[in-house]
Amino acid sequence: MRLSPRRELLAWVVGSRAVVIGSAYLLHRLHRPQGYFPERYDAFDSTNHVLGAWDGEWYRRIALHGYVFHAHEQSSTAFFPLYPLAMRLVHVLGPDLLLSGLLVANACFVVAVFAFARLTRELFDDDTARRAAIWLCVFPLGFVFSMEYPTSMLLAAMVLASLAALRNRWLLAALLLAIACLTRPEGAVLVIPLGALAWRRREEVPLWHGVCALAVAPLAVASFPVYLWMRFDNLHVWADSQREWGRQFHPLGIWHAFSRFAEQRDLHPWLLRDMLLLVVYALLLALAPRAGVAWEWTLAAGLLVLVPLTSGTVESVARFGLVGFAFYWVLAREVRRPWLEGALQAGCLALMVWWMLAVPLANP
């Protein structure tokens, strides 16, 4: 007997997270590959420690000690504040900071999947909503949604902000947009599709409602560097921090990302993963018009992977693209043959396991 849509989607959410957590547990038990997990970090001590690796350590530092800036060194001031704040709030209720971050990430992912299905249903149809939400669950790099990263929180805020705007609840949309932008600056790409929505509905709702709501995005993004300026009495703290993390934007950055790829790949072979998914993202964007995805959503998804390339590397581009709604919509509308859909989803889950097991070798 076929499950109801909600139960089926819940099964995919639980199943995909079980795959991620099971893979992390296997890493914990095997204690290999050692990779870049330093001994002092005790990253193999538990499943939670595996899921809290890489940026998770930095978010825990922020939640515990606040922001610290060291010139010419990688500093916590490169990371936006809302996710570590959420970790700290959950920590007050009892769980340690590591578990708090994982609870926030996984709870936000559940919310994001069901809200994304609702958003897709309102923009397309029931079948596309079901398929797109399933693709969101099984996308190969989607193991990041269950790690101690802000990606799930960003996704949930972006989806909910889009839903609120679609229902002409612009004040709520503004609040959720601010949450997204203070979680990660990529949330600001929503200004494009929500701005187009506000323009189309200017006869139903005064245009200034949408304009005021969308003005929150750049203000929220800018507020964090301003806070750091006031906190450290240094106007360039955020920009300097980004530079130390390899995110120095350059007019020729996109050219350098491709022309220097072979050289960078020799140092970090796992950049091939980001390049592979960058190609996948490009193909999906090319198919977006045929799939009936509106130009504004396509542009927003494209900017998620294009802007990071201006720093001169493809590193982490695959993770940045995870919150691009259009990618999942194209998959849902273009991959309709049951045998092909099943084969691709099985392949995605296999890649998810492989890449999760490779976390000690490469940051997401």
Nearest to residue 211, comparing CAs of 221, 226, 201?
Answer: 201
113-118 long-range CB contacts below 8 Å, 24 or more apart?
Answer: 113/9, 113/12, 113/13, 113/137, 114/6, 114/9, 115/156, 115/159, 115/160, 115/163, 116/155, 116/159, 116/325, 116/328, 117/5, 117/9, 118/163
* CA 304 to chain centroid: 10
Q: Which long-range contacts (CB under 8 A, 24 or more apart) does 183-186 make?
A: 183/80, 183/82, 183/83, 183/150, 183/153, 183/154, 183/157, 184/80, 184/150, 184/151, 184/154, 185/80, 185/221, 186/154, 186/304, 186/320, 186/323
- Max distance between CA atoms of the chain, in angstroms, equals 64
Q: State the pLDDT at residue 1.
A: 47
* Predicted pLDDT at 39: 58
Report, in angstroms and rounded to the nearest whole number, the Rg of the chain calculated over CA atoms: 20
DSSP, res 146? G
Q: What is the pTM of this model?
A: 0.96
Which tokens go with 225? 């560097």
Q: Are 281 and 319 contacting, i.e. CB atoms less than 8 angstroms apart? A: no
For 44-72, the DSSP string reads TSSHHHHHT-THHHHHHHHHHH-----TT
Distance CA 73, CA 243 (A): 9
Alpha helices in 184-252 (DSSP H): 191-200, 207-214, 216-232, 237-244
Element (DSSP H or E) covering residue 275: helix 271-291
Instruction: Please state the φ and ψ torsions of residue 226, each to the nearest 5 degrees.
Output: -65, -40
Q: Work out the number of other CB atoms within 10 angstroms of the CB of residue 199.
A: 12
pLDDT recorded at residue 247: 84
pLDDT digits (tens, 9 = 90+) for 268-283: 999 999 999 999 999 9
Three-state DSSP at 311 gives coil
**What percentage of the chain reaches a pLDDT higher than 70?**
98
SS3 label, residue 353: helix
Q: What is the mean pLDDT of the chain?
A: 94
**Contact (CB, 8 A) for 112 and 139:** no
Residue 195: per-residue pLDDT: 95
* CB atoms near residue 239 (< 10 Å): 15
Q: Mind listing the pLDDT tens digit for each residue in 295-307? A: 999 999 999 999 9
Segments of the chain with pLDDT less than 50: 1
- Residue 49's alpha-carbon distances to 20, 164, 232, in angstroms, are 13, 36, 31
Domain regions of the chain by residue span: 5-357
Q: Do residues 60 and 87 make contact, with C-beta atoms less than 8 angstroms apart?
A: yes
